[in-house]
């Protein structure tokens, strides 16, 4: 039942400087992961019924623990590789925000079969289940890795190169399947190409940890992070709140020209790894002055790494009204504070780094 049709007084809901999903039943696949749990948390602020679907392969129960007592939150433990689990999760949903995937380029090189099984077969299962459940709007996460060996900067959605990893192949296959389902089944599907997302709840542990929480955890332990190469490789680091904005915009847009499209989800700002290290060190030094003395060590280039990445966000601005709220430095200040307050209670295996 739509709460706007009831006579009971409703609690005031927060406002944002862009359209948001409100009063919907939203399926978030991979909802216990870093990005998925942030999406779940944000959706709950706007009186949505949130179905979190996760198998906890890379997600964590601690990420969603604060939501378990919320009557608007439902956890379905299942696997996108199982079509019946997908059908159960899609039942009654108004829209899907598909975040479930096995990430990491290095992991896909080490284990291409599992990456393919989850990212392609699993994605197809969710699409089929959503189609059969008559869910029209389907927003899915893809990756800047689809640009492959294309050297052009900034990256423009219509121009991609050859993939450099099994992971990139799977994410491009997602885009092809999404196009075919929109074409043949009338689904309103939008893809979001994420660029190096960071923020609270990003896991700092393990051999496939993302660079920002990994650097942060090592600095907090007074260890020197290893920078692959000479530190000149650059990325378009994207704060999680910008990703939240893009999911809201893609899910609510009434612009027919935006349907069936993919959009870069980034800030259109490029920073190299040396700059990133210095920013993290500067912001952590506010909490621990000894960190300012730590310097990085330099190691070999990582296999299949691209040297530079920078997104054009002109298409997202034009068709979705996207206006990123945070650049790298603004997002890092918030993220580092969260990392310092929360990650210090963890016990990372520093030997992995």
Predicted pLDDT of residue 12: 58
The secondary structure of 200-212 as a DSSP string is: TT----STT--HH
Residue range of the domain that includes 36: 16-199+239-265
**167 in catalytic set:** yes
Per annotation, catalytic residue among 140, 147, 167, 172: 167
Provide φ and ψ at 194, rounded to 5°. Answer: -75, 140
Q: Is the pLDDT of residue 44 over 90?
A: yes
Whether 91 is in a domain gets the answer yes
Whether 219 is in a domain gets the answer no
Half-sphere exposure of 278 (CA within 13 A, CB side): 7
Computed over every residue of the chain, the mean pLDDT equals 91
Contacts of 339 (CB under 8 A, 6+ apart): 200, 204, 213, 216, 217, 220
Whether 211 is in a domain gets the answer no
Q: Higher pLDDT residue, 6 or 281?
A: 281
Tens of pLDDT, residues 274-307:
999 999 999 999 999 999 999 999 988 876 678 8
235-265 burial, b for 16+ CB within 10 Å, e for fewer? bbbbbbbbbbbbbbbbbbbeeeebbbbbbbb
pTM: 0.91
Q: Is the pLDDT of residue 10 over 70?
A: no
Collapsing DSSP to helix, strand or coil, 344 comes out as helix
Whether 46 is in a domain gets the answer yes
Half-sphere exposure of 276 (CA within 13 A, CB side): 31
Interatomic CA distance for residues 162 and 159, integer angstroms: 10
Interatomic CA distance for residues 4 and 48, integer angstroms: 12
Whether 134 is in a domain gets the answer yes
The structural domain count of the chain equals 1
Whether 270 is in a domain gets the answer no
Which CATH number goes with the domain that contains 190? 3.40.50.720
Whether 155 is in a domain gets the answer yes
Whether 290 is in a domain gets the answer no
Q: Is the pLDDT of residue 204 over 90?
A: no
Interatomic CA distance for residues 19 and 255, integer angstroms: 13
Tens of pLDDT, residues 89-103:
999 999 999 999 998
């Amino acid at each position: 039942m739509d709460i706007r049709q009831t006579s009971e007084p409703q609690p005031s809901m927060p406002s944002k400087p862009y359209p948001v999903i409100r009063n919907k039943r939203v399926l978030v696949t991979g909802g216990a992961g870093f990005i998925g749990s942030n999406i779940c948390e944000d959706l709950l602020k706007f009186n949505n019924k949130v179905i979190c679907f996760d198998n906890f392969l890379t997600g964590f129960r601690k990420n969603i623990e604060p939501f378990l007592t919320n009557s608007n939150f439902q956890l379905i433990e299942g696997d996108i590789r199982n079509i019946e689990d997908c059908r159960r999760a899609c039942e009654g949903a108004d829209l899907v925000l598909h975040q479930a995937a096995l990430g990491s380029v290095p992991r896909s090189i080490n284990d291409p079969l599992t990456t393919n099984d989850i990212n392609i077969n699993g994605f197809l299962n969710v699409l089929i289940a959503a189609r059969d459940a008559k869910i029209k709007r389907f927003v899915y996460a893809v990756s800047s890795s689809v640009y492959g060996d294309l050297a052009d900067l900034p990256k423009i959605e219509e121009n991609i190169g050859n993939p450099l990893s099994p992971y990139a192949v799977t994410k491009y296959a997602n885009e092809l399947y999404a196009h075919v389902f929109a074409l043949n089944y009338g689904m309103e599907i939008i893809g979001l190409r994420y660029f190096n997302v960071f923020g609270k709840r990003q896991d700092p542990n393990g051999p496939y940890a993302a660079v920002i929480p990994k650097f942060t955890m090592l600095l907090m332990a007074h260890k020197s992070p290893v920078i692959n190469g000479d530190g000149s490789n650059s990325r378009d680091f994207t704060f999680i709140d910008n990703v939240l904005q893009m999911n809201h915009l893609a899910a609510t847009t009434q612009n027919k020209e935006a349907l069936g499209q993919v959009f870069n989800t980034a800030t259109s700002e490029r920073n190299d790894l040396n700059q990133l290290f210095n920013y993290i060190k500067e912001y952590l030094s506010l909490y621990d002055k000894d960190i300012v003395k730590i310097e990085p060590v330099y190691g070999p280039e990582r296999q299949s790494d691209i040297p530079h990445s920078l997104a054009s966000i002109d298409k997202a601005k034009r068709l979705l009204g996207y206006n990123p709220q945070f650049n790298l430095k603004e997002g890092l200040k918030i993220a580092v504070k969260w990392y310092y307050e929360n990650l210090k209670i963890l016990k990372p295996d520093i030997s992995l780094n």
